Chain A
């Protein structure tokens, strides 16, 4: 009798596949339904392509000094002029995109991996472990992020990898807090209790049941944080604490150009425009991903 009401299409597997494809299509349609998100995505794609094919695109060797061409304004040969060593600013901006993107992505991944792990442990086990992790995270959070990153620069020094680690550590607490509260709420759901009743071990519960269910807000946060991280990297490099010469980074370029504002303002201002553009596009793309994944969150920060 109860069987009668549940009928299924003969080709369930194919339907399932079609369903998944449809869902993906729906996600992208929702994502790009707003023009601004589409435009942002295109700009981000372009910047990524520029970074990947930097050596093929750039007109000059970014690191080769040319004493005769020092401090030139924009011209046909040097579209954005040259710096104090006669290096082509445009080429340096092009190669600098690599630093921004690599550090931005790497730092967020580091922050996410460490933070999520710690948050999961704190939320799942609770008690003393939770106290220690939460208190330390709270203490770290009290130090403003910029200050923390600056202080960590003293320990780790500059360079792309070190910058990623520094920014990763200083962004970590967000993930600890988020994951912890996620785990706390998911832990109370009935399916976790059902899992435990069936004899799942803690590790299996955490990895198979809790993690997959808490990951989507974490991913949304990651996409939204890449922009901020790039901004921090540029800031530290600007202060001379991050990426140091001769490696070109947008932050160091802004800093390097400010002595020559009167002769060639583009030298200092153009890399800043690049930072702003990339960060704006990444952020609106992140907002778009959030809205498409979970429409209920729309309008929130």
Chain B
């Protein structure tokens, strides 16, 4: 067990090392002179020289990478050129907002998705199944940003029920916070519900075809028992993988929602960083998001040990 976790932990660390290197390399791929790009090109010779050494441009890329990595490990991700503040500080401010929204969306979408998936698999071919499957297929394809604008138009502008944008924490102003969170949350959750529904349904249908389900039926078990005891446990295993992927991806997926509803989270920060070519900030954001999703992956792997008896043996 400990061995298994250790093995996966070391794998995760290796992957993160590669990610960080790739992220750092982004800078080298940037077209033109990075300093000129960062500052807009209108700077004096001294500033240029100062930045040149500050960014260690005189050293080879590997050395620069290790210097940056050393900083990153101690929590120093450099200075943001556009915010003129430490990258680590900016990120620390933004991360909780995104995580808060993502986790809420995740908590909503998992049970709903699983329930819808089971209903549609068990009642395969029925009107309920057709409705659920069709709705899920459509919801998977709706562009999140457009959904946000649609909600904004309907609920904020036409009906006036909800504020059109902004973000406050619940402890600052509970009522406003709830009102402000509803629309972004819906946008984030709809895709998750749809994809978990689809995965649960298909993996249920897959499991129902297996030999051991025939064995269970040959024992004379009730159909319900066959489904809820023998099939469901097996069918939910692949759903766990998807849940991990969703959670890891939610942080990235919040980009659009944060943009539409003007929420100060990681997503909008990343977009700002890109549009203002703020290299240290880009690197910091990408690295952090990658760390987050690897940690989620690692947790998924560990969860598997507890729920899938096949792993203990292997």
Contact = CB atoms under 8 A, between A and B. Distances in A.
Q: Touch between A and B in complex, CB under 8 Å? A: yes
B256 A238 contact: yes
B271 A300 contact: no
Contacts of B26: 151, 154-155
Interface residues of B, number: 53
Interface in A244-301: 251, 254-255, 258, 261-262, 265, 268-269, 271-272, 275-276, 279-280, 283-284, 299-301
A235 interface: yes
Interface of B: 14-16, 18-19, 22-23, 26, 29-31, 137-138, 140-146, 149-150, 152-153, 157, 198-199, 201-202, 205-206, 248-249, 251-253, 255-256, 259-260, 270-271, 274-275, 277, 282, 285-286, 289-290, 293-294, 297
A167 interface: no
Contacts, number: 147
Nearest to A282: B141
Given A151-B274, A240-B275, A261-B157, 5 more contacts: A142-B19, A144-B252, A144-B289, A147-B285, A227-B141
Contact of B256 (A235, A265, A269): A235
A147 B260 CA distance: 17
Interface of A: 135-136, 138-140, 142-147, 150-151, 153-155, 157, 227, 231, 234-235, 238-241, 251, 254-255, 258, 261-262, 265, 268-269, 271-272, 275-276, 279-280, 283-284, 299-301
A147 B270 contact: yes
Contacts of A241: 271, 274-275
B274 A153 contact: yes
Contacts of A279: 141, 143
Contact of A299 (B15, B141, B206, B260): B206
Contacts of B146: 254, 268-269, 271-272, 275-276
Given A241-B275, A261-B153, A155 B143 contact: no
Nearest to B124: A299
B137 A147 contact: no
Contacts of A144: 248-249, 251-253, 289, 293
Most chain A beta-carbon contacts within 10 A, residue among B16, B26, B290: B290
A254 B145 CA distance: 8
Contacts of B248: 142, 144
B199 A301 contact: yes
Contact of A235 (B144, B150, B277, B289): B144
A276 B191 CA distance: 13
A1 B271 CA distance: 77
- Main SS of chain A's interface residues? helix
Nearest to B198: A301
Given A241-B274, A272-B143, A142 B15 contact: yes
Contact of A300 (B140, B206, B260, B282): B206
Contacts of B16: 139, 142
Nearest to B19: A139
A50 B260 CA distance: 30
Nearest to B256: A235
B282 A135 contact: no
27 contacts: A135-B15, A138-B18, A140-B19, A142-B248, A142-B290, A142-B293, A143-B290, A144-B252, A146-B255, A150-B274, A151-B23, A154-B277, A155-B26, A231-B143, A235-B144, A241-B274, A254-B143, A254-B146, A255-B145, A261-B157, A268-B146, A276-B142, A280-B138, A283-B141, A284-B137, A299-B206, A301-B198
Nearest to B296: A142
A239 B252 contact: no
A150 B252 CA distance: 10
B145 A154 contact: no
A155 B253 contact: no
Contacts of B285: 147
A293 to B, nearest CB: 17
Contacts of A231: 141, 143
Contacts of A276: 138, 141-143, 146
Given A146-B255, A151-B282, A235-B256, A283 B140 contact: yes
B31 to A, nearest CB: 7
